[in-house]
Amino acid sequence: MNTTNTLDIAGLETVYDQLATAIDTVGAEKSELLLVKLALLAANELGNAGRFAEMLAAAQRDL
């Protein structure tokens, strides 16, 4: 049983596809704004600024 609220590979692929489609839909000129708004909504849903900082650092690695 998965008790940690994580996505499996299929779920991650679905999220990736949704994100890519949204970025394409808004266009290059608004993609940064979309991603910032999404990050803020996700941080609010997460409800943990420290955990968000850890996730942000992980996302920045190896860009």
Q: Where are the domains of the chain?
A: 9-60
Are 34 and 26 in contact, with CB atoms under 8 Å apart?
Answer: yes
Two tokens, residue 14: 């679905």
Tokens, residue 47: 């409800």
Location of structure tokens 């990736």: 16
Give 10-residue mean pLDDT values along the chain (63 residues): 77 98 98 98 97 96 95
| Whole-number pLDDT of residue 2 | 43
pLDDT of residue 3: 53
